[in-house]
Amino acid sequence: MNEALSNLGNENRSFPPSKEFAAQANAKPDIYEMADKDYLAFWGRQASNLYWHRKWDQVLDWQSPFAKWFVGGKLNASYNAVDRHVLEGRGDRVAFLFEGEPGDSRQITYSQLLIEVKKCANALAQLGIRSGDRVAIYMPMIPEAAIAMLACARVGAAHSVVFGGFSADSLLARIQDADASLVITADGGFRKGGALALKAIVDEALKGKTHVKNVLVVRRTGQEVAFSDRDIWWHDLVDKQSSDHEAQAFDSEHPLFILYTSGTTAKPKGISHTTGGYLTQASFTHRVVFDLKPEKDIYWCTADVGWITGHSYVVYGPLINGATQVIYEGTPDTPHKGRIFEIIEKYGVTILYTAPTLIRTWMKWGDEHPNRFNLKSLRLLGSVGEPINPEAWIWYRKVIGSDNCPIVDTWWQTETGAIMISPLPGITATKPGSAMRALPGISVKVVDNEAREVGNGGGGYLVIDRPWPSMLRGIWGEPERYKQTYWSRFDGLYFAGDGAKLDNDGALWLLGRVDDVMNVSGHRISTTEVESALVSHASIAEAAVVGAKDEITGQAIVAFVILRGGVAADKDLEQSLKSHVTKEIGAIARPRQIMVVSELPKTRSGKIMRRLLRDVAENRAVGDATTLADPNVMKLISEGLKSEKRED
């Protein structure tokens, strides 16, 4: 467990909901009781808010750990997200308020979105994409990213969105694992004031062996790109399609998407989600946790579609609920550090959902940036991705929320598909830093090593003890790994990988990962994946990677490396290793610091004791090292490092 977070849970200030907010809130206090009475009936009622071409026969079929939700039901995700609003008279409502990094903007109504999605679906069909196929999407944060996802869903092809910051190698591995036959990308996207290439990276990736037949390319930046017979411009193909396309109904358990996430091994896991249950929980949670009033609110979730948050709370949840939302292509400090606040003012954003790392970055940049803009339109603030420290929570509430917006700290994972633990605005009195309690219809527990529930005041492992509609249905192509990873630590319980504690009032505090997974700026990165990237460098014999506490990013990657015989540690080595990791995985995995050591601390069974390395990386006295195979190792490491200068 990340010791740096162990002071969480000692905060006892509580912020009760205001009467005004409570009076208008979507969720009413009896919702918990109603859900507890019969949780399957409760989820059935939530599912009824979707449009089903055929109603389900059974809410849940649970053959632990394999679930089927809304068995026998048939629906179409894109029909629910788009067609339905147009058919019910909401076509003129704006779906997307798009803001490009250079300052260009576009408004897209639900009617216009429907036309684009239908054209794109026809284009996919013309390219031979059929129900059951996989399509890789590698895009900047532009409306076409959502259109491409919805078009895949419309024709029953599973999308696999790969975050635009991933390297060619990472993209290739994901294309191969899912065996995608089409890649949808753009020439590039605008980031940090420049045009970041995407198509060139796809070309690089596709030098590997794949079954990709075509690459569909949106022109976004206008930068020079190489084009081969395989490549087709979006404007040449999609724009010319008919805007008639009838959405076909798919089984509730039809695959909707695959999204890769890092685990404790070097190989990312293709988390598989299906349709009916996923859409039910994504839309329900979006409605009650963010208190969405679709006619009035301007909603903004700052996540990229490359992450699960972008799937559930930019595309599926908000669109199903008919939200009007902002999407922004660029970085928060381009061209100035007030950019996000400027956009909030411009569109009158009422609901903001973002990550603690950005909140802490804003704190560091200074209050003058938010204070330059009018943020009074905001009425609710959300946080996701990692534990939010009480200081950041209070700052968020005061400086961004003018002290009168409820804050929802939402815990969930790529695997859970939708929010699992969060306060409900208007109902829950919140404590800064606590995600408070499981949502209605969801059951979580904190247990000890023997799966015994800890009482109030106790700490342990966070588990989920009942299936939930948006749960992952497996790891793509690896059914055994699914059981092994999530269901084997405690019999019959889903183990999330997080440590948690219950305070004396029973409020839940997330304490960070207890496995070899780091959380850098809310993004999950496996220590093993970075280690294997490092040892693929010609100079490195062995590597151990830890997540060390970092004021801004939550955790930062610190690597300990042993050089191969004959290699000398010159001053270029650290840079060369950092670039190597960037090339292998992507910039998000670039280590903050690399330390050359002569030994690594290992147990007798050969397992690296990362806890001890974390002590070194965080400048602490080294803890209990009695289980080390060689008790002198830590002394060697500490002494060796004292003579080195540290670089941050």
> What does the binding site for ligand WT7 look like in residue numbers (CB under 6 A)?
261, 308-309, 384-387, 409-414, 435, 496-498, 510, 513, 519, 522, 524
Residue 303 CB, shortest distance to ligand WT7, in Å, is: 8
Q: How far apart are CA 149 and CA 257, in angstroms?
A: 9
> Length of the chain in residues, anyone?
648
Residue 498 class from Cβ within 10 Å (0-12 exposed, 13-18 middle, 19+ buried)? buried
Cα 399 to Cα 549: distance, rounded to the nearest angstrom: 25
Question: Which CB sits closer to ligand WT7, 433 or 441?
Answer: 433
Q: Which amino acid is at 261?
A: T
Q: Would you say 524 or 592 has its CB closer to ligand WT7?
A: 524
Q: Which of 29, 64, 34, 61 is nearest to 46 (CA)?
A: 34
Peptide bond into 102 cis (omega under 30): no
Of the two residues 345 and 465, which places its CB atom closer to ligand WT7 in the complex? 465
Q: Which is nearer to ligand WT7, 308 or 577 (CB)?
A: 308
Helix (H, G, I), strand (E, B) or coil at 417: coil
* Owner of token pair 């990550």: 355
Residue 425 CB, nearest distance to ligand WT7 (Å)? 15
Least distance between ligand WT7 and beta carbon 310 (Å): 9
Rounded Cα–Cα distance for residues 444 and 451 (Å): 12
Count Cα neighbours of 219 within 13 Å in the Cβ-side half-sphere: 14
User: Of 95, 144, 88, 142, whose CA–CA distance to 299 is shortest?
Assistant: 95
Question: Please, what is the minimum distance in Å from the beta carbon of residue 273 to ligand WT7?
Answer: 12
Closer CB to ligand WT7, residue 284 or residue 412? 412
CB-wise, 170 or 519, nearer to ligand WT7?
Answer: 519
- What distances in angstroms separate CA 232 from CA 208, 216, 217, 229, 236, one per listed residue? 20, 5, 6, 8, 7
Other CB atoms within a 10 A radius of the CB of residue 504 amount to 10
| Residue 226: CB minimum distance to ligand WT7, A | 33
**Nearest-approach distance from CB 329 to ligand WT7, in angstroms:** 20
Angle, in degrees to the nearest 10, between helices 527-535 and 571-584: 120
Eight-class DSSP state of 436? B
CB nearer ligand WT7, residue 241 or residue 528: 528
Question: Residue 379 or residue 524: which is nearer to ligand WT7 going by CB?
Answer: 524
State how far the Cα of 77 lies from the Cα of 129, in Å rounded to an integer.
17
